[in-house]
Amino acid sequence: KQSNPFDYLKNHFIILSRKIKGFGNIFEEPRVGEDFAYFPLHFEPEIATMLYAPFFTNQIALIQNISKSLPVTFKLYIKEHPDMVYRRPTSYYEELKKLPNVRLINHKIDSLLLIKRARLVLTITGTVGWEAAMLSKSVITFGHAFYNKLSSVRSCHKPEDISLVIKESLESQPATDEELVDFISAILDNSIDFD
């Protein structure tokens, strides 16, 4: 199907107007000494949500469930996907800001910094989960990610199980260096070179 050039122009005009208008004080900086779980928003539409996690395509609903399931002392840090900045309406972020333990983190903050400081990383199937596992962090996924086999990664497939999976993840031991090396070696052994 050919895309309509007027739709293309309309989308670019919307993005430009959001850039000019800005987001006001919706986004925050991380707080020092705060216990938090980190959830990066996914690009949409994307195979990661639509095919690998078909029951968790509504990220707002998933975040609401995560927010309710975290320990009371925790905050949930949400960061926008770099390629989605200015593509979502302000109302999307305002809906997330209604949750009392959610902080929308400035999209310019390095994800690696957030991963290192987080007590727990949650993702639908994103690369952030793989990066966190490599840094010996506990990870929860909500879809079929290749790194789900690691002992530090738990996969949650039902919203009613989120609280239990969070509790188990916070009490679990990180993956050992030996396990991580074995896992990466297995990936390399089963990979092929191609141009």
User: What strands, in cross-sheet order, belong to the sheet with 120-123?
Assistant: 102-105, 75-79, 36-40, 120-123, 139-141, 153-155
Q: pLDDT per residue over 1-50, tens digit each?
A: 556 778 878 887 787 787 777 777 889 999 999 999 999 999 998 887 88
Residue 191 has pLDDT above 60, yes or no: yes
Q: How confident is the model at residue 96 (pLDDT cuts 50, 70, 90)?
A: very high
Higher pLDDT, 122 or 173: 122
C-alpha 46/C-alpha 57 separation (Å) is 10
